[in-house]
Amino acid sequence: MTTKHNILVLGSGMMTPTLIGQLLTYGDSKITVASNIIKDAEALVKLAPKFISAAYLDVKDIPALEKLIAGHDHVISFIPPWMHTPISEACLRVGMNMTTSSYISPDMIRMHPDVKAKGLIFLNECGLDPGIDIMGTMKILHEAQAAGFKIVSYESYCGGLPVAEQADNPLGYKFSWNPGAAIKASRNQAIFRWNGEKVVTNTPLKCAVVRDDFSVSMKLESYPNRDSLVFQERFGMQDCETFVRGTLRFTGFSDIISSFHDIGLTSDDPADKNVKTLRDLLESRLGGVHKHNGSLGPRS
């Protein structure tokens, strides 16, 4: 007998089609894709018109949000992480379980007692990273503990790497999620432990290390990602002298993106109103450049 579910997916971004494809494998489920870009949501309906419908939603419209949530069995929030809080608050009021693939925020942690008191499940960090990496870590940790081992060093790296024939740009990378968010993530402060020392850096890309121990055929590099020590506490691995969670890329990615950061190309500051070309932008960020033998150089 097929079990029906009525699932609300919030968001119509680059990762949503894959999510919907997976949800469609679980029986005769109905899926509503809600987005503030209705044409994107409607485009996803074409994947399976019999099972998918589209709805317009502005998450700041709380009454509309709660009404939409109440008409479903489960909510999957696939919108930018900073928007999860009003979604989770609405789910708490309505009494609805919710899933996200995002990191657990302080706001979500503060909600934990109320969510637990209502008997609800708010499942976060259930993507690839964070998600599968965490489950894999705990499996290995529990097996090691059961065998009487003590773990003193832990490194976990994850990266969405394109297949070799598609790694055809200088970055060796293809964006499978919001490019702006991906670039901004590489500017996040990183905290980790290395050989007993706590390391804090605001420039994690400058900590990139070429790795020849992962593959004999691929040239890879790794750099630290966010606050690893939060997970060291959660995992109960306080004995680790080295503890780092990081990102994996093909070599060259870190140097290029780090250079973009350094010259201000990834800054959130608005560009000058006179900026119309890339050269104008470089000039405004660097304080002036001029043409010299066909190349960019400082003004004399």
Catalytic sites, residue numbers: 129
3-state SS class at 208 = coil
**End-to-end CA distance of the chain, in Å?**
78
- The pair of three-digit structure tokens given for residue 30, joined into one six-digit string: 């109905």
Cα–Cα dist 44/20, whole Å = 9
What is the DSSP secondary-structure string of 233-250? HHHT-TT-SEEEEEEEEE
Q: Which tokens in the block code for residue 22? A: 């997976």
Query: Using CA atoms, how far apart are residues 164 and 67, in angstroms rounded to an integer?
Result: 46
Question: What is the biggest distance separating any 2 CA atoms in the chain, rounded to whole angstroms?
Answer: 78
Buried b or exposed e, range 85-111, using 16+ CB within 10 angstroms? bbbbbbbbebebbbbbbbbbbeebeeb
Q: Which of 41, 43, 77, 44 is nearest to 59 (CA)?
A: 77
What's the angle, vertex CA 28, arms to CA 133 and CA 126, rounded to 5?
A: 15
Question: 235-249 as b/e, with b when 16 or more CB fall inside 10 Å?
Answer: bebeebeebbbbbbb
- Closest by CA to 7, choosing from 99, 81, 79, 89, is 99
